[in-house]
Amino acid sequence: MRVSLLQMPADASAASPSPAHFVRGWIDTAAGSDLIVLPEMWHPGYFAFDQYTQAAEDTPALLEALSETAARVGACVHAGSLVEADGGCLYNTSVLFGPDGAELARYRKMHLFGFDSQEQRLLSPGDEVVVADTPLGRLGMAVCYDLRFPELFRRMCEHGATGFIVASAWPHPRVEAWSTLLRARAIENQAFVFACNGVGATGRGTTLCGRSAVIDPWGITVASLGDDPGFVSAPVQLDEAHTARSRFPALVDRRLLGDPDNDLVLRRDDGTAVRFTAKRVILAGYTARDTDAIDAYIAKLQEEGIEPPDEVPAYFVVGADRLTTASRIEATTASSCGEVEFALLIDSNEVWVAAASDHTDRALETVDINASKQNCPKVLSTSVWRLHDIEAHWDDLTFEARTPAAAQDCYQAGPVAALRPPRELIELVENRFGGPMAGTVILSGTIPAAGGFEFHPSFEVALRDPVRGRSLEVAYSIVNVMEDT
């Protein structure tokens, strides 16, 4: 196949009366290619932060024009990236069109740049790794700053990518980092990299470095550009990635430190990553401080056919693989729902607090409560707080849950102080189960719902801290995998 990279001048579309006409002209220069790649934020220009909101209004028409152009030239067209508006948020989004104009994939930039940029303030990060099935092969998608995070590219590699498309607006002071990282991502994953950068002065005190390049799985530059606008084309055989992996089986020789299946990657208040390895998960139940409330709750559950617990508090041990931060879970019945809780993640020298939902199969609960707990994932917020930072005002925290998500009325709402406090729960679990506590995750139990169980295809919970004006939130959809079987 033939790949073409269109190294467009920074902010050039802003001077054009028609951005759609502008980009069609550039794509026509690469007619005859099988894959055509544009740079990041070619409209309105990456550093034109004051124009992002208006640019988002232009994006649907531009994507329609790019779809039509892809069909006209008979090539896969990667739209670089554009500002996308969705649900009240703005995203830095790449779209890949097939040679018939159909949309093949859509990727939202996961790593938003903070240094000398307003991207983190204006945009929301994506949360999905995207690998597209194309007529040319499986291609992963990334944008600019993503290049500095090798785990994203390794995940795309694990999803079968043999090539990566990188749209960028990489500035000149870090040109050596650009060239080095392109080669590193190719070498370590034994995959092609098709990296298209903007070039030239932005009119806002920054100059993009160009140096768009096609890198092969051995880290060799097949084709490249300098620091002038233009395009470069190169013949590529994606199957050469498989050949490289077979001849030099570095990916087969890869060994992991620890078990990645139960590792959670979370975020602290300051945005820094926290990697937590879950070794055991214990669901605490019937943990209200008010014993009369516990009795009333148990009586209510008995009316619904659920047997009373053998002990209070009750404990249910589930596999660590039941923990997730996913925005979508699967269930095997229409009778499942979540419940708002807090989670304590006990590390070797820290206790983290997350918002949580103990999603449960309610139909199975009437038969075997332990099995019902194990049958569904337990969903955690992607952000966490240090218990140390909130323990002094713990009883000021509040719970909220809604189903369906974004419902006007709360499904559950009330003070966190209705449940036993964190240190007491940790002590109870340690006395009950013993052993090292590092790696233990405790879910707190819940508060009563406004009515009976409700079953909807989405659920959201929040743990709110009114003292600091912050919240931990979880929102996810539920797919009943049995509906179509």
Q: CB of 181 within 8 A of CB of 164?
A: no
DSSP string, 267-324: E-TTS-EEEEE--EEEEEES-BS-HHHHHHHHHHHHHTTPPPPSSSSEEEEE-GGGEE
Burial 187-214 (b: 16+ CB within 10 A, else e): bbbbbbbbbbbbbbebeeebbbbbbbbb
- Of the residues 109, 119, 365, 400, which is catalytic? 109
Distances (CA, A) of 274 to 270, 277, 323: 11, 10, 15
40 assigned to active site: yes
d(CA 397, CA 109): 33
209 assigned to active site: no
Paired tokens of 393: 């005002």
All residues at 6 or more sequence positions from 53 whose CB lies less than 8 Å from its CB, including other chains: 83, 85, 90
DSSP string, 82-95: EEEEETTEEEEEEE
- Of the residues 144, 196, 209, 337, which is catalytic? 144
373 assigned to active site: no
Partnered with residue 164 across adjacent β-strands are 140, 193
Crossing angle of helices 52-73 and 19-28, in 10° steps, is: 40
All residues at 6 or more sequence positions from 285 whose CB lies less than 8 Å from its CB, including other chains: 309, 313, 314, 315, 316, 445
CB atoms within 10 A of CB 171: 22
Known catalytic residues are 40, 109, 144
